[in-house]
Structure 1
Amino acid sequence: MIDPLPKPIVKPLARAFAPVRALFVSDASAGVLLILVAAAAMIVANSPLAAAYEQLFYGELRWTPIAKLDDLHLWINDGLMAVFFFVVGLEVKRELICGQLSSPEQRRLPVLAAMAGMAVPALIYVFVVGIDSPLVRGWAIPAATDIAFAMGVLGLLGSRVPASLRLFLLTVAIVDDIGAVLVIAAFYTANLKLMWLGVAAVVFAVMVGMNHFKVDRIWPYILVALVLWVAVLFSGVHATIAGVLAALTIPMHRQDGHSLLEKLEHGLAPWSAYLVVPIFGFANAGVNFDGIGMEQVLAPLPLAIAAGLVVGKQVGIFGIIVAAVKLGFAKAPENANWVEIWGVSILTGIGFTMSLFISGLAFTESRLLIDEAKIGILGGSLVSAVIGYVILRLTTTHPEEKPSEFVTP
């Protein structure tokens, strides 16, 4: 029989391999998968497979049931991503009814932080590109935080980060998602078709009625949601908004201990995190650097996006937290010091899914601008992830060593 290793050896080994072990826990795995997918897309787009990659996603389909969606990239961004937005909508509704956004006290600080975390990056972006520049249309690109990436980095840190900060980051990201959906609906919608908009309104009313009359089967909602998606697609509003609208109609009343909303969220969340978003990431993150030199890398668009993510996010979120706490308007996350809060604020500068999505809406007519936007998104996100991780890794401690206490500056 092999004797177990002595504790003085086991403990340092456990700590040394903690980041590796963290790759396989839920907080980190989705984020790590996205990192791998983004890297794979970049490699393929700059390899001998580049032409095949381009043809796969942007080549015209021989047959499509909806003529408007004539390539795979459109089906992914307008169709498959509706599932992602549906899951986001389910999560938002649950949090508003019985979660971390269900009371004014709980949502005060996250809502403030998310609003500042969207406004300041947008202002920095506009300042860099110039208010009269045609690039100003991309102002919302650095305003979004990628929840999977950010929570993935926190997951790599294990128990070093206080649980209150994990919850705070998750809640801010949820509110951020709400803001991003509203921005897409309000600012990236063109050529509205009133007839289809009316059809969408009627279908949405039908789904609200189904909720009111406590229809508790999944398949009727799915069928009607598909009709809603088609109506929104042809209305001029981006089709993914149908996912959010449909999610808001799913019943939250409980039967057999679980609501239909909770069952759907539980069932769809893994598919969204481990299939839908990675497919979207692989289809959108590939940038072919052929013909792209330092002039494009340092162009106003990627610099504005990177500055918004790296500087704007942390300044906006950390600044509003300090102000709210000092003024007594809100309480800071428990058991966390200011350096830890700053580190988490930097992690909100990781933008991927929503940022890539908005860049595609902002610059639909220019592949060069979309590629430049991708460079800014990936560069700014990488810098935010590395700086945030290093700060939290060096300044936080394991609970068994020294509890982290919040100290007002």
Structure 2
Amino acid sequence: MKRTKLFISFFNSEKAGGMVLLLCTIISLLLANSNYSVQYNSLWHIQIGNHPLEYWINDGLMAVFFLLIGLELEREIYKGELSKIKEAILPLSGALGGMIIPAIIYLLFNSNTTYQKGFGIPMATDIAFAIGILSLLGNRIPLSLKIFLTALAVIDDLGAILMIALFYTKTIYFINLAISLAIFVFLLLLNRLKINNLIIYLIGGVLMWYFMLNSGVHATITGILLAFAIPFEDGRANSISYKLQSWLHYPVAFVVIPLFALCNTAIHLDTNWLNIINEPYSFGIVFGLTIGKPIGIVSFVYLSIKLKLTHLPKDINWNKLLAVGFLGGIGFTMSIFVTLLAFDSTQIINNSKIMILIASLLSGCIGYILLSNNFKSGE
């Protein structure tokens, strides 16, 4: 597997970003349950224009996050681990299993209830947290395992975006949607004409975001579309796609995602918060992430290998793959994001966030312990 400078930069930014994300989550929970809880929560409801600050973070800044995901996915498809079909099938099959099985487990508990729309919550993997946990073991982790987890999480995020577009769009305003897509087609045309002025694409992206925002389709979809409209060329270091991706790594890891965490984990825990564990959506989230993710990832990879569609790299064994499957159960950012779209009740949203945090903590701890023991045993 080819070790590229951009991949190392991406991995390192996500690794450090995971630590910052954890710190922000702890700070947010402490403030939300302190004597300053009222002031802290009101901070995220400060009106900017016609919307509160949390709206601009979730619908605006997160589009930048998805732009980076799109640029990374594009690079993986053209030059990285997804450029060769046999190698791409390994993380692709794992990602599919890691989305399908958790959704099925969630629906086993919540089918035909008012909570069934939450099926997308346990389907997600948080890149920053998962890589952050993986990095705690340092150089003992083989590069192929890091690349597998990164590719799996990127594909997972793409799946989440498609799911948001298909299942979490309530009312569509077709004129605004048509304008947004027309801008996308225009940017694609500029791409074909080899127009390489990044400013033009960014202005087009902002306009596309605005009309998508007012179309009923979630505006963060714009990030992925814009990524594939920006010229990739041959992926050289002087291409505008490479430059933008390099520039976005640190702002996303240290500004966008931490702000999202601070805003969306401002959860007040009352004295009887443990009662929510008995709710069907709680079972669906916890079992979907902690059990469904590793089962889905490992079983689908196993099936693809048995069908001779792909193969395991020499430095990855099934124990390491199972451990990474548990790390895939760290949902956090994307799981919380889907929760905001799935439910309308503030109480259910907050309860779901608590269960996501619990499930992510369990998954991260189990994954770390399994990997640590794996390397101690010399496998």
TM-score for both structures, normalised by structure 2: 0.93
In the alignment, residue 90 of structure 1 is paired with which amino acid?
L
**Structure 1 residue 258: Cα displacement:** 2.4
Matched, 1:40 2:27: yes
Given that 1:254 and 1:260 are in contact with CA atoms closer than 8 Å, whether structure 2 keeps it comes out as no
Distance 1:254 1:395, change over 3 A: closer
Q: Is the 8 A contact 1:340 1:396 kept in 2?
A: no
**Correspondence for 1:386:** 365
The answer for the alignment partner of 1:407 in structure 2 is none
The 8 Å contact of residues 66 and 224 in structure 2, kept in 1 or not, is answered as: yes
CA contact (8 A) 1:301 1:372 kept: no
* Aligned residue in 2 for 1:185: 165
What CA deviation, in whole Å up to 9, does each residue of 1:332-369 have, x standing for no partner?
A: 13212221111111111001111110000001x21001
Structure 1 match to 2:64: 83
Alignment correspondent of 1:20? none
Q: Structure 1 residue aligned with 2:351, among 360, 366, 372?
A: 372
> Can you give the 5+ residue segments of structure 2 that lack an aligned partner in the other structure?
1-10
Q: Which residue does the alignment assign to 1:56?
A: 43
Identity, in percent, stands at 38
Pair 240,51 (structure 1): closer, same or farther in 2 beyond 3 Å: same
- Is 1:124 aligned to residue 111 of structure 2? no
Distance 2:184 2:351 in 1: 37
- Residue 157 of structure 1 corresponds to 137
Q: Contact (CA 8 Å) 2:177, 2:211: kept in 1 or not?
A: yes
Counterparts of 1:297-376 in structure 2 under 5 Å?
Answer: 297-363=277-343, 365-376=344-355
Residues 1:106 and 2:93 are matched in the alignment: no
Contact 2:101 2:292 in 1 (8 A): yes
Structure 2 counterpart SS, 1:114: helix
- Residue aligning to 1:281: 261
Q: CA deviation at 1:255?
A: 8.9
**Cα distance between partner residues in 1 of 2:139 and 2:291:** 27
Secondary structure class of the residue paired with 1:235: coil
Q: 1:27 to 1:246 in 2, by over 3 A?
A: closer
Relative to structure 1, the CA distance from residue 205 to residue 326 in structure 2 (aligned partners, 3 Å threshold; closer, same or farther) is closer
From the CA coordinates, give the structure whose radius of gyration is larger. Answer: 1
Q: State the distance in 2 between where 1:255 and 1:247 align.
A: 13
C-alpha distance after superposition, 1:61-109 (max 9, x if no partner): 1x50xx3xx1011010001111101111111111111111112112111
Q: Alpha-carbon deviation of 1:197?
A: 1.0
Distance in 1 of aligned mates of 2:77 and 2:208:
23
CA distance in structure 2 between the partners assigned to 1:163 and 1:246 by the alignment? 30
Shift of 1:221: 1.0
Matching of residues 138-217 of structure 1 within 5 Å: 138-217=118-197
**8 A Cα contact 1:27 1:155, kept in partner:** no
Q: Do the aligned partners of residues 110 and 368 (structure 1) sit closer, same or farther apart at CA in structure 2, a change above 3 Å counting? A: same
Gaps of 5+ in 1: 1-23, 405-409
Separation of aligned partners in 1, 2:121 and 2:234: 38
Aligned partner of 1:5 in structure 2 is none
Assess if the C-alpha contact under 8 Å between 2:298 and 2:325 holds in 1. Answer: yes
2:8 aligns with none
**What's the offset of the Cα at 1:326?**
3.4
Letter in 2 for 1:228: M
Query: Which is bigger in relative contact order (C-alpha 8 A, separation at least 6)?
Result: 2
The CA deviation string for residues 172-194 of structure 1, in whole angstroms up to 9 with x for no partner, is: 11111110110011111111001
Letter in 2 for 1:38: T
Matched letter for residue 375 of structure 1: I
Count of residue pairs brought into register by the alignment: 369
Change (3 A) 1:255 1:148: closer
Q: In the aligned structure 1, how far is the partner of 2:242 from the partner of 2:118?
A: 35
Helix, strand or coil: the match of 2:214? Answer: helix
Instruction: Describe the SS at the equivalent of 1:258.
Output: coil
Greater shift, 216-225 or 74-83, is seen at 216-225
C-alpha displacement of 1:26: 4.5
